[in-house]
Structure 1
Amino acid sequence: MLEKEVVIAVDPGLQARPAAQFVQKANSFTSEIFIEKDTKRINAKSIMGLMSLALSKGNTIKIITDGSDDQEALEELVAFVEGKK
């Protein structure tokens, strides 16, 4: 299991279109993927779960991956949230 804290840099945050793109990327991996914000943890492969966090640019989240491709998943999802992909 891997985890990393990251500050959301994509504009306007993980809402609407960016959220859908994030979930699509998360679903391309076999690993379990979660996002934590404050005390709430959601399945990052669920658009409804992701939208329930109301993540805006500048928020800090933790991305957690666990599975056979967890390193690749973590790297790609962190890069997306940081606006690098």
Structure 2
Amino acid sequence: KLYYIPASCSLSPHIVMNELGLDATLVKVDHKKHLTESGADYFEVNSFGYVPAIELDDGTILREGPAIVQYLGDLRPELGLVP
């Protein structure tokens, strides 16, 4: 799951995911209320309340944009999306 706010810094992980051809659930976050589109408390995902955050299949949550992009790029290093 990629937690995002449109037109924010969560755009870069979304672009990398698209370039890698990865399927992901996108979860929109209301940055004023800190709620997900389903009404869940976003602070339970990221205690700092900011995006992006990505929840991996094993439940691990990455909360920093550069770490998310690096993780995603490392999934397919042959594409050269990240150094």
TM-score (norm 1): 0.29
Higher relative contact order (Cα pairs below 8 Å, separated by 6+ residues): 1
Q: Higher strand fraction: Structure 1 or Structure 2?
A: 1
